[in-house]
Chains A and B, each alone.
Chain A
Amino acid sequence: MSERVRNVLIVAVMAVMAIALTLLVSTRPADVDRVEEIGSRIKCPVCQGESIANSPSPMAEDMMDLVSERVAAGVPDQEIIDELLGSYTGAVLLDPPASGSTLVLWLAPIAALAVGVGVIWWWQRHPGAVGDPPAPPTERSRTRLVVGGVVLIFAFAGILVVASNSLQDRPAPASGAADLADQDLTEVSDETMEAVVAANADNPQVNGMRLALAERYFDAGDYRSAFPHYLEVAEDPDATAAEAITALVRLSWMAYDGNDEVETATRLVEEALAIDPNSTVALYVKARVRWCGAGETDEAVTIFETLLADPGVDPETRARIESDLELARDGEGCP
């Protein structure tokens, strides 16, 4: 048979086969699994980039169970995905949606293809001037080379600087117990301080906070709440001398002022003085306790005079001591 007839026959055979194939195939595997399909579009949030359909981690399994449940309940695909998005943000989507900030991603490949085709078409239409002899590098182009090189080096250095600056701005984790000493406590509520103190009971640095809390209670007149904290500090072998003295002195005062227990108060303040015999506050409280509680005016006078002899006492305290001394000398009871 002739060439043409044979060609037509061959084309006909091809066409038949192609049509048969098209009829036979399905575009999806026989049992398309909606759950698997949705799952393959969600990233497992606790894994490194795997989809919840693929990941073996238990969290992924739980999420797939959720998806199964929703699918069985007849919820449409997009709603299920939106539900997960509402909890996790778009970062768990493996398949960027064709809208908003990711529309670019869908358009970009088509645009690239179009640009590529356009470039080829344009290139075909604009032949270069074949046969132009290559121009020798001129003086100007050499200068440009040098200038360009210098600019490059500066750009390089600039980027390194910018980058290393950002490297140092890594956010530091919030302070743990170790930074207790540096905390600004003015805004913090009592409950918070209680919680911090309770949680960090083993940390000697918490004494500062403990005392601050106790001071709050003390200033508010709430001796009962202040007492356990002062006691803790007073009994803490790792407390600093200053902390111990403060605690003991306060305890002493509360014993006297709150419970009228003069002996206890005296004992406590003498414990403080055992740590530092020159402690101004301890001496003062002792004087007050002995004077106001035990009526020992002479003892008080002696202590007051000792205090006044110390040049390190600040003017305000000095004024108070002086007025107290006068009253004591006159044999009067304490105000």
Chain B
Amino acid sequence: MSVTGQVLRWTGLAVVGATVVLAVVLASRFGTDPGLVDSPLLGEPAPEFALAGLDGSEGVALSQLRGEVVVLNFFASWCLECREEHDDLVAASESFSDRDVTFVQIGYQEDPAESFAYLEEAGRSAATLYLADPGSRTAIAYGVFGIPETFFIDTEGTVVGKIIGEANALILGATIDAIIAGERPGQQITGDTRQQPDP
């Protein structure tokens, strides 16, 4: 057979081999969700913010909370999962209030007045700080892809945990317990997040 013929033969077989390899690779991707990304903030110092309260009242800067474990949750009234996890956040905040753990909830992509009104209806924890985020700067700094997302910052100001999706009291508490014990729980995915409000 001519040289060309042999080259063609080996090229054909090479394509066959490459196809099989690629196919196995693609097949292994089936179980995973292509939309999920790992937060680059884990293990890094938490981005600083200084925000006012939802009703315009005096808020807080993150640096003022140094020394406490900070649970940072992004929410909005238009987010169904946020509504579902609301009671758990309130309960956990109350429960851990005397353990040097501070809950901070930041309104995301919503008029602060509307978030405030929602909290009037849904209830709030006296121990939680409810803050407004104009221009979504804090959400951008924390790389929020959708809500609800909850970040966990240890006493030294490092982001050590993140929950993507709806949280519940058990997972919140277990994560906080772990952080108090000095561990770094990392990122957990509990479910879907919402990205857009309904116009």
Contact = CB atoms under 8 A, between A and B. Distances in A.
A150 interface: no
B64 interface: no
A62 B189 CA distance: 26
Contact of A195 (B38, B173, B197): B173
A176 to B, nearest CB: 6
B95 A195 contact: yes
A224 to B, nearest CB: 15
B177 A162 contact: no
Interface of B: 2-5, 7, 20, 23-24, 27-31, 37-41, 44, 47, 87-88, 90-92, 94-96, 99, 109, 135-137, 139-146, 165-166, 168-174, 176-177, 180, 188-191, 195-197
A199 B90 contact: yes
Given A88-B143, A170-B31, A126 B3 contact: yes
Interface in A6-30: none
Interface in A178-217: 180, 183, 187-189, 191-200
Given A63-B140, A128-B4, A163-B27, A85 B168 contact: no
Contact of B31 (A84, A166, A175, A188): A166
B169 A196 contact: yes
B191 A199 contact: no
Nearest to A196: B169
Interface in A152-174: 155, 159, 162-163, 166-171, 173-174
A46 interface: yes
B31 A58 contact: no
A191 B141 contact: no
Contact of B40 (A87, A171, A197): A87
B2 A128 contact: yes
A87 B88 contact: no
B136 A59 contact: yes
A176 B189 CA distance: 13
A121 interface: no
Given A47-B195, A91-B37, A128-B5, 14 more contacts: A46-B145, A59-B109, A62-B140, A86-B44, A87-B41, A126-B2, A168-B31, A173-B189, A175-B168, A180-B170, A189-B176, A192-B172, A192-B177, A199-B169
A97 to B, nearest CB: 15
A198 B170 CA distance: 11
A153 B142 CA distance: 49
Nearest to B84: A176
Contacts of B30: 163, 166-167
B141 A187 contact: no
Which of A87, A175, A187 neighbours the largest number of chain B CB atoms within 10 Å of its CB? A87
Nearest to A194: B95
Nearest to A176: B168
A198 B91 contact: yes
B31 A187 contact: no
Nearest to B98: A191
28 contacts: A45-B144, A46-B146, A58-B109, A59-B109, A62-B140, A63-B136, A87-B40, A89-B37, A126-B3, A128-B4, A128-B5, A163-B27, A166-B28, A166-B29, A171-B189, A173-B165, A173-B166, A173-B190, A183-B170, A188-B174, A189-B173, A189-B177, A192-B169, A196-B88, A198-B91, A199-B87, A199-B91, A199-B168
Chain A interface residue bracket vs B:
35 or more
A140 B86 CA distance: 72
A65 interface: yes
A171 B190 CA distance: 9
A213 to B, nearest CB: 11
Contacts of B197: 58
Contacts of B137: 62, 66
A163 B196 CA distance: 32
B165 to A, nearest CB: 7
A188 B168 CA distance: 14
A194 B197 CA distance: 33
Contacts of A197: 91, 169
A18 to B, nearest CB: 42
Nearest to A87: B143
A28 B87 CA distance: 55
A200 B23 contact: no
A327 interface: no
A174 B177 contact: no
Contacts of A323: none
Interface string A53-70: 000011100110110000
B191 A162 contact: no
B174 A191 contact: no
Most buried by A among B5, B139, B143, B197: B143
Contact of A196 (B23, B141, B168): B168
B157 to A, nearest CB: 16
Given A46-B146, A66-B135, A174 B168 contact: yes
Contacts of B38: 89
